[in-house]
């Protein structure tokens, strides 16, 4: 595999960025793109569950798996940033971040990214959360007996699903396939929707994408190998990640089947890319 002359923005930077778990109530779902954009503009990579999984992958997977995935991610990120009032779900994420000794910051979001404001923990508002539970957070007391999500001890590994924009349509099916195998997909086309390109420079998305490839335990490619997918595979190899390849078969709006293939079975969008493998 000779990639010495291969050039792509994701391979041109040695910069590292922090990975941030963005915690916010479902009532702020409509601000999920602005929240990710805000984190990207701070030169950090946002793990935004409402981007990565939409709302429980639109019911395609059991909510239990999404909770396990989110709990697992809190252990792996660098920091947790809270946006808006603290709901029941956000409370558990703060507790898990405290337990994992992750730095926690609080922000008031806005439809205008420029108007986001950082606040202190004393200024935080609660959303349908009992005051005594928040006191437990302030005093860093054990909450696990009081919340079922905190009694979940399972942990899933991370996978980066690499696929071409030509297969953008199958993004949720790809994430479901990963979750069904008990892997957390760090799905770039869901984490970084095309809308984000209007809010932040594309270079910041490349930097964040690179951070997620490096964080992942494995990389799985799906479908044809594009220029961008080739770059992600090269980066994964440099980081000694385990790599699998899947062919997309039986494409239907409500059902997609993936078939594992060898490197010899790969199909390339551009003929010259085959020389890299």
3 belongs to a structural domain: no
The rounded distance, in Å, linking the Cα atoms of 177 and 255 is: 11
Q: Do residue 101 and residue 160 come from a single domain? A: no
10 belongs to a structural domain: no
Burial of 69 (0-12, 13-18, 19+ CB in 10 A): buried
The rounded distance, in Å, linking the Cα atoms of 134 and 138 is: 6
Alpha helices in the chain (DSSP H): 32-41, 49-52, 56-59, 63-76, 88-99, 131-139, 171-180, 188-191, 202-215, 227-238
Domain that holds residue 130: 19-151
The total of structural domains in the chain comes to 2
3-state secondary structure (DSSP) of residue 64: helix
- Where a domain ends, among 118, 151, 184? 151
161 belongs to a structural domain: yes
Residue 2 pLDDT > 60: no
pLDDT for 101-151, tens place per residue?
A: 999 999 999 999 999 999 999 999 999 999 999 999 999 998 888 877 888
124 belongs to a structural domain: yes
6 belongs to a structural domain: no
In contact, 32 and 196? CB cutoff 8 Å: no
pLDDT for 219-247, tens place per residue?
A: 999 999 999 999 999 999 999 999 999 99
CB 31: neighbour CB atoms within 10 A? 21
- Where a domain ends, among 114, 133, 151? 151
Q: Do residue 87 and residue 99 come from a single domain? A: yes
Residue 277 pLDDT > 80: no
Q: Lowest-confidence range among 57-61, 95-99, 270-274? A: 270-274
pTM: 0.93
In contact, 51 and 34? CB cutoff 8 Å: no
Query: 193, 232, 196: which is closest to 216 by C-alpha?
Result: 232
């Amino acid at each position: 595999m000779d990639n010495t002359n291969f050039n792509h923005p994701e391979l041109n930077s040695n910069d590292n960025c922090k990975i941030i778990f963005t915690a916010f109530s479902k009532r702020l779902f409509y601000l999920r793109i602005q929240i990710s954009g805000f984190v990207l503009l701070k030169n950090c990579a946002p793990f935004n569950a409402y981007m990565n999984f939409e709302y429980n992958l639109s019911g395609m997977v059991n909510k239990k798996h999404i909770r396990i995935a989110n709990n697992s991610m809190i252990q792996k990120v660098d920091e947790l940033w809270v946006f808006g009032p603290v709901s029941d779900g956000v409370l558990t994420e703060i507790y898990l971040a405290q337990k994992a000794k992750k730095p926690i910051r609080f922000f008031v979001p806005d439809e205008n990214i420029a108007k986001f404001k950082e606040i202190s923990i004393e200024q935080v508002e609660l959303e349908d959360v009992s005051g005594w539970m928040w006191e437990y957070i302030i005093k860093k007391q054990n909450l696990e007996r009081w919340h079922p999500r905190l009694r979940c001890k399972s942990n899933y590994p991370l996978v980066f699903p690499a696929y071409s924009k030509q297969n953008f349509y199958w993004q949720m099916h790809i994430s479901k396939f990963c979750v069904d195998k008990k892997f957390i997909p760090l799905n770039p086309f869901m984490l970084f929707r095309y809308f984000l390109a209007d809010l932040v420079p594309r270079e910041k998305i490349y930097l964040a994408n690179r951070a997620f490839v490096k964080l992942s335990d494995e990389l799985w490619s799906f479908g044809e190998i594009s220029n961008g997918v080739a770059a992600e595979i090269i980066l994964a190899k440099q980081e000694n990640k385990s790599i699998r390849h899947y062919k997309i078969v039986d494409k239907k709006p409500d059902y997609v089947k993936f078939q594992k293939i060898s490197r010899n079975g790969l199909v390339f969008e551009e003929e010259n890319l085959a020389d890299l493998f």
